[in-house]
Amino acid sequence: MPMLRAAAADACLPRRLASALLLANSPQRDAPEGSGSGRSLPLALLIVSTLSAIFASCFSVYLIWKQLKNYRKPTLQRYVVRLLLMVPIYSIASAISLYSLQLADIIDLIRDLYEAFVIYCFFNLLIEYLGGERSLIVLLHGRRPQEHLFPANLFLHDMDASDPYTFLALKRGVLQYVQVKPVLAVATVLLKAAGKYQEGKISPTNSYTWVSFTYNVSVFLSLYCLGMFWKCLNNDLKPFRVTSKFLCIKGIIFFSFWQGLGISILVAAGLIKKVGPVYDPEYISMAIQDFMICLEMPIFALGHAWAFSHTDYIDPFAHYAARLPVYYALRDCIGMYDVFSDSLTTVRGTGYVYHTFEPSEGVIHQPLARQRKVLAPTQRHR
* Residue-range domain boundaries for the chain: 2-380
* Strands in 149-300 per DSSP E: none
pLDDT in tens, 225-283: 888 888 888 888 888 888 888 888 877 766 666 676 677 677 667 666 655 554 455 56
- Round to whole Å and give the CA distance between 200 and 212: 10
- Tally of CB atoms within 10 A around 325: 11
Q: What percent of the chain is predicted at pLDDT more than 70? A: 72
How far separated are the first and last CA of the chain, in Å rounded? 43
The confidence score (pLDDT) of residue 61 equals 96
Q: Which helix (H) or strand (E) element contains residue 2?
A: helix 2-7
pLDDT band at 20 (very low <50, low <70, confident <90, very high): very low
This prediction has a pTM of: 0.77
- Round to whole Å and give the CA distance between 360 and 155: 33
pLDDT band at 318 (very low <50, low <70, confident <90, very high): low
> What's the half-sphere exposure (Cβ side, CA atoms, 13 Å) at 94?
36
pLDDT in tens, 326-360: 888 888 888 888 888 888 888 887 766 655 666 55
Q: Which helix (H) or strand (E) element contains residue 319?
A: none
- Tally of CB atoms within 10 A around 16: 17
- Round to whole Å and give the CA distance between 28 and 39: 18
